Each structure stands twice: as structure tokens, then as C-alpha cells.
Amino acid sequence: MRDYICRAGITGLSTSIPEKVLTNYDLEKMVETSDDWINARTGIKERRIVENDKTTCDLACEAGQNALENAGIGPEELDLVIVATNTPDMIFPATACLVQDRIGAVNAGAFDLLAGCTGFIYGLTVGQQYVAAGAYDKVLVIGAETLSKIINWKDRNTCVLFGDGAGAAVVQQVPREYGIISSVLGSDGSGGKLLKLPAGGSKLPASEETVRQGLHYVDMSGREVFKFAVRAMGEGTRKALSKAGMGSEDLDLLIPHQANIRIIDTAAKKAGIDMDRVLVNVDRFGNTSTASVPIALCEAVEQGKIKRGDNIVMVGFGAGLTWASLLMTWY
Ligand code: ACO
């Protein structure tokens, strides 16, 4: 492990969860599917959907402001705001800048981070570098999504999987025996075609034709992504532990990206971790992409499943293709 000036850890956490619940039974009325199929193939029972007039920035601000409160710091103390998202309010300006303005982080820089569903773990790693190097004191990392706005609600292959939400963490210096110990970032762009939003960028600018062909919706090769996910999550977990000289027996809780219970089960098995040490809430939220790990982390802390001194690993995969894992001793 490299020498840093100090250890960086999470000092505040919060979420923003939309009120509206969309169950598998609701979806049965929208596409040809069933609660049985969705539950058996994914473990999802329901997900949350934002109101039409709400945006990713709205969810990000709520989660971010509450995380600052939880950390006991004011917005003007922030040095940096990072928003990991696949569903920014606009292509530009960055949603992070909208958040920075709305929450009053007047002394902070701000940028969006695009790494598929892995974005939050990428963001934590970036925030950690600034804090541990002594460059910045306080960084706000947010994972926020309104995936419901880019899903084809007539496509049963994708519309049953995703949900909306946000989670945020404040990254600051913590005592040496706590905080982030290791992280692993990975990318395999050759798999970029497996999970994409084809139009709206410079390759296929928005036109009547792209809209007619439904190219502004999530396009996914589910089976291929599944195979990649199982491998990436299993290996990612093992690598974060081994980089810190630890084994699976040293882990207290695994916080995996919540995409599919079968992916989580198999990946945990591959990493040698029994399901008693794995946080699962995919049944209630579906795949909220960058928000899934911070929502699960926050839930684990609130439910007392994580206590000071516990070793936890966050692991995720997503569009890119990307994957990442991060090991920290909870402060
Ligand atoms: N209801 C009923 N039947 C369905 C549904 C549905 N909602 N969706 C697909 N089917 C059908 C298919 O059409 C197919 O029928 P066919 O055999 O007649 O062609 C059959 O069910 C089996 O389809 P598969 O794709 O083989 O099903 P699989 O077991 O692979 O499960 C799933 C599909 C759930 C999508 C799985 O592949 C998966 O979870 N993949 C990973 C997806 C993922 O995690 N994506 C998020 C990535 S993260 C990010 O960055 C956004």
C-alpha cells in the first residue's frame, strides 16, 4: 500500500428514496411478465420511481444535504462535489455543478463521473486520493439516478430491472486505524457495446429517426453482462482484500452493487463469503445503478449491521464495462 499523508474515510452518509413504489404486479399490467419470473431471475420485488417533475439533481441534493448534516459540516466547508450518474439532468453542464450551486457549496469544485453503475465506488476512490494526499479536507461523493427516465417501459428485458434513488457520502480524514485501505478500479471498453444508451451523443445526435427507433433508451445484452458481473464482483472482492493483506475471513460485511440476487449469490460464493455477511436490498429497490452501493451502505449502518472497526468491502460493476472494489475499516 502507498504511503499517504493521512487516512480518508466516510464521516457522513445519507440517501434520497422516491416515495412511489412500483411492484412486479404493477409491471404485469404494463408488459408481458410475471412476479414469479422477475423474482426468480433477479430477486427484485419492487423498485422506487421519481415523480415526473423530479430530476437526478433533486435526488442528489437531498442525499447530499443530509449527508453533510450527518457529518456535522456546512456546505461552504466542502472542497469538492463529485456526482456519479448515468442520468445527468443534461449532457452539460455537469449535474455536480447544479448540486454545488443548489446546496451552497460555494468553495467547492464540482464534476460528474461516468463509470456506469460502478460510478460511486470510482467516486469514493477519487475523493479518497484528494483527502489522503492532503490536497482537500472535505469531499462530497454522490451516486444519483433517475433511470426510469431512460428506460423503455415497453421492453420487458430491461424495464423490470431498474429503479431510482440517490446516496451520498462525505469523505474526510479519519484516525489512522480506520478508513479506506485499498481500492481496485477496472475497465474493459471492448464490452462497451453490451450496455449502452446508443443515441444523444456525438455518434448519433438526437434526431426524429433516433427517437423513432427508440435509441434513447437503455440497450443491454443481459446474459453477457451477467457473466461479466459474476466474474468482476467475485474477483474484485478478493483483490481489494488481498491488496490489503487480508482474506475473506477478515471481512465483516460485503456491500455489493444490487443488480440481481443471482449475481450477488454467485459472486459471494466465488469470493468465499457466506450470505450472512452480504447486504442485500435488491428486492426493495431493484438496480439503482450508482445509487445502489451508498443506499445499501446507509441501510447497513442504520440497521446496526456495521459498527466501528468493521472491515467492509464495496464492490460493483457496470456499463463501460467497468468494475471496482474498495476496502475500508468503518469509522
Ligand atoms: N418477463 C418474462 N420473460 C422475460 C422477461 C421478463 N421481464 N425478460 C426476458 N424474458 C424472457 C426472454 O425473452 C427469454 O425468452 P426466450 O428464451 O423465449 O428468448 C427468457 O425470458 C430468458 O431470457 P434470458 O435473458 O436468458 O434470462 P436470464 O436468466 O439471463 O435473465 C436478466 C435476464 C435478469 C436480465 C439477467 O441476464 C441479468 O440480470 N443480467 C445482468 C443485467 C444487469 O445486471 N444489468 C445492469 C448492469 S449495471 C449498469 O451499469 C446499468
Of all protein residues, the one whose alpha carbon is nearest to atom 7 of ligand 1 is 156
- Ligand 1 atom closest to Cα of 223? 37
Report whether residue 57 contacts ligand 1, using a CB cutoff of 6 Å.
no
- Centre of ligand 1 to C-alpha 296, Å, is 23
Does ligand 1 have an atom closer than 6 angstroms to the CB of 255?
no
Ligand 1 lined by 266 (C-beta under 6 Å): no
Q: DSSP string covering 165-218, please?
A: EEEEEEEEEE-TTSEEEEEEEEE-GGGGGGEE--SSSSSS---HHHHHTTTTS-
Q: What's the gap in Å between 27 CA and the centre of ligand 1?
A: 15
Cα distance between residue 311 and residue 169, in whole Å: 17
Could you tell me the pTM of the whole model? 0.96
- Output the CA 59–ligand 1 centroid distance in Å: 28
Residue 225: CB within 6 Å of ligand 1? Answer: yes
For ligand 1, atom 2, the nearest C-alpha belongs to: 33
- Is ligand 1 within 6 A of the CB of residue 195? yes
CB 196 near ligand 1, within 6 Å:
no
Residue ID of nearest Cα to ligand 1 atom 8: 157
Give the contacts of 168 (CB within 8 A, at least 6 positions apart). Answer: 13, 14, 15, 60, 63, 64, 66, 67, 140, 141, 142, 143, 144, 294
262 CA from centroid of ligand 1 (Å): 12
5-20 residue pLDDT tens: 999 999 999 999 999 9
Give the Cα separation of 62 and 58 in Å (integer). 6
Other beta carbons less than 10 A from residue 98's beta carbon: 23
Give the catalytic positions in this structure: 117, 257, 287
Query: Span 73-82, mean pLDDT?
Result: 98
pLDDT at 162: 97
What residue owns the CA closest to ligand 1's atom 26?
A: 223
CA angle 245, 247, 251 (to 5 degrees): 110
pLDDT confidence bin for 2, thresholds 50/70/90: low
The one-character DSSP state at 117 is B
Ligand 1 mean position, distance from CA 37 (Å): 10
Give the residue among 269, 199, 186 at the shortest CA–CA distance from 228.
186
State if residue 61 touches ligand 1 by the CB under 6 angstroms criterion.
Answer: no
Residue pair 85/56 in contact (Cβ under 8 Å)? The answer is yes
pLDDT in tens, 35-76: 999 999 999 999 999 999 999 999 999 999 999 999 999 999
Q: Is residue 33 scored above 70 in pLDDT?
A: yes
Q: 159 in ligand 1 pocket by Cβ < 6 Å?
A: no
- What's the whole-number average pLDDT of the chain? 97
Which string of b and e fits 59-93 if b means at least 16 CB within 10 Å?
Answer: bbbbbbbbbbebbebebebbbbbbbbbbbbbeeee
The per-residue pLDDT for 3 is 73
pLDDT of residue 271: 93
Ligand 1 atom closest to the CA of 157, numbered from 1: 8
Nearest-atom index, ligand 1, CA of 156? 7
